[in-house]
Amino acid sequence: MAPTTRPSSSGPKTNRHELLFAFARQTPNLRPLCAAAKRLSATHKRMESAKHDVERKTLEQRHQMSDLDRLRHSCAHVLATAVLRLWPEAKLDIGPPTAEGFYYDFDLEHRFSPEDFEAIEAEMKKVTKENQTFERSTKTRDEAKAFFEERGQSFKVERLADIPEDEEISFYQNGEFVDLCAGPHVMRTGNVKAYKLLRVAAAYYRGNEKNPQLQRIYGTAFPNKTKLNEWLEAQEEARKRDHRKIGREMQLFAFDDDVGPGLPLWLPKGTVLIEELEKLAKETEFEAGYDRVRTPHLARESLYKISGHLPYYAESMFPPMELKDDDPDKPTDRIYLKAMNCPHHHKIFSAVPRSYRELPLRLAEYGTCYRYERSGELMGLMRVRSMQMNDAHIYCTPEQFADEFRAVNEMYLKYFKIFGFEKFSMRFSTHSAERLGDKYVGEPELWLQTEDMVRKVLVESGVDFVEVADEAAFYGPKIDVQVYSISGREFTIATNQVDFAVPKRFGLEFKTRDNTTETPLCIHRAPLGTHERFIGFLIEHYAGNFPLWLAPEQVRLLPFGDDQADYAKSVVAELRTHGVRVKLDTTSDKIGARIRRAETDRVHTILLVGQREQEVGNLAVREHGKGDLGAKPRDEVIANLLNKIKTREG
């Protein structure tokens, strides 16, 4: 699959080489370079994910802003007003609304810290009590430039260049604060009633590492304190469920400086999760008529030039390795780490002559990809540089498209039921006609045709979806699947994309019934996304308390004493013959301590064996999160466990 968003082109790429430097540690004469790269990497780690410039909203997008976004945008202005009252020398950049609230960027000698929040919020409260109106005005470009130059607001002067020549230059004023702003806002500062400052982060001006490092204050705002408190409680719950915290506690995965940032090491328990997910995907895809393939982790530059990933997504790829042939007359090979599987699958399609009788052809692979993510954007398993993707490409005719696209959506729903995802939504991303040939392949008729096809399938399927312009993949429309964890956090975990352009670039063809040749449509799909992101979501969704079929340790036997050890061992042996992940705890600790240890380890089912259970052939069952379920016959307990694992319902 191709990256779903186009990366920013701003900023130098010095830190992109840190992974290659890690490889170079094996070569003694390159170790000084490695040490330098490590120091540089440490500097970048201290930066939060604030390294991309914010794309300025169009006037149409601003008109479509929700009431909540307007409120949060206004709260950003209230924050800036308060900061200037406390630190009049502060220079301002921008303050947009975000998914979680808002932020504002400042350039100031004073270093903000959470200890400043009390004073800033107190000043914000004064601003809201003054109930200042948000008043719009306009200036000419020269007037606006002079206004900000007089006040020493150099960042605002530069931001004037972002405004199109044919767009009015507008300002919003509340009280003494005047800001370059296209709006919209609430009527008065008094409408901003419930807000909280959250954290401070470093942010490069315009996301460019060569520019000054600003200070970004994040906050959030809601229509009332009830909703604010509910959100704060949800955030606290999310912190408890943080996959990085639980991953350490359960020993699921690890990161190591010598391996490199964004490159997870899967420990034995985490590998269990991977293998169970792959087993589920392979079973599901086999039933749906998919063929499995394998592709290498490397490819020549020419492959990605054919696909268009070079130059479209060059900045999301690691820099190439240059290999010189022993023959000096042969050109240098430029080899890239694989950033996506689709070009390789296209080559598999073209490896043999194809007929209409073979279509739809569904090629599936859990392929490993490598993508460059800036150090400040790496975040546990959610943003990594090495990922294993539940990828597949479906080659079909236009007549087969609707059924295939619908079947993929139904596969999503099947998975959601298995994992207990009760809340989800689909985001249908279309192209922008103004950016054809730039951000999108220049095929206007095919764009409209395939978007209509996807829209029709979604409507006929009765699937709730939101349509969003100018967020498609470069080669066709796509659907991103958003799911919500129990704690309310939203994640994009899957994508379903239509590709009408790249198969033609690869010269993919099949013989039709009339013995002519046609180019197939291609559906890119990844219902389970990547192992890394999906498992990160599952950890937080379940808070580490995985269902029986997925639990790293499914069962633990606890005999009360040495006299019950042989009976417990026989149960362990029987369960292992059926592939159950089971362990035996015969340590000398008291039974209560061993139960607590198993609960702390998040073992799904604890089976206790005392003298009574041994005499009558029973097992006392205790399930994590449910407590004591009583003693039951051994055969019944084992049969119940095996059935739950097989059906993935426990």
pLDDT number for residue 258? 97
List the chain domain ranges. 59-238, 253-542, 555-647
Distance in angstroms (rounded) separating the CA atoms of residues 60 and 334: 43
What are the distances in angstroms from CA 209 to CA 35, 52, 96, 214?
Answer: 21, 10, 21, 11
Residue 414 makes CB contacts below 8 A (sequence gap 6+) with 284
Return the SS3 of 576.
helix
pLDDT number for residue 9? 32
Question: What CATH class has 253-542?
Answer: alpha beta
CATH of domain 59-238: 3.30.980.10
Question: What CATH class has 555-647?
Answer: alpha beta
Calculate the CA 420 to chain-centre distance: 19
Cβ pair 270, 252 in contact under 8 A: yes
pLDDT in tens, 61-105: 777 889 999 999 999 999 999 999 999 999 999 999 998 999 999
Cβ pair 339, 371 in contact under 8 A: yes
pLDDT number for residue 241? 92
pLDDT number for residue 360? 98
Torsion-angle region of 437 (φ positive above 0: left; ψ -120 to 50: alpha; else: beta) = left
Distance in angstroms (rounded) separating the CA atoms of residues 52 and 242: 25
pLDDT in tens, 475-494: 889 999 888 776 667 788 88
Of 347, 342, 268, nearest in space to 308 by CA: 342
Distance in angstroms (rounded) separating the CA atoms of residues 83 and 497: 45
For 55, phi then psi, to 5°, come to -75, 125
Cβ pair 605, 589 in contact under 8 A: no
What are the distances in angstroms from CA 438 to CA 60, 292, 312, 441, 543?
Answer: 21, 34, 9, 7, 43
Percentages (nearest 5) of helix, strand, coil residues in the chain: 40, 25, 35
Distance in angstroms (rounded) separating the CA atoms of residues 100 and 3: 23
pLDDT number for residue 384? 96
pLDDT number for residue 63? 79
Which residues of the chain are under the pLDDT cut of 50?
2-51
pLDDT number for residue 487? 65
Q: How would you label 509-529 residue by residue, b for 16+ Cβ within 10 Å and e otherwise?
A: bbeeeeeeeebbbbbbbbbbb
What are the distances in angstroms from CA 323 to CA 13, 317, 332, 336, 371?
Answer: 21, 18, 6, 11, 21
From first CA to last CA, the distance across the chain in angstroms is: 32
pLDDT number for residue 422? 83
Return the SS3 of 298.
strand
pLDDT number for residue 1? 53
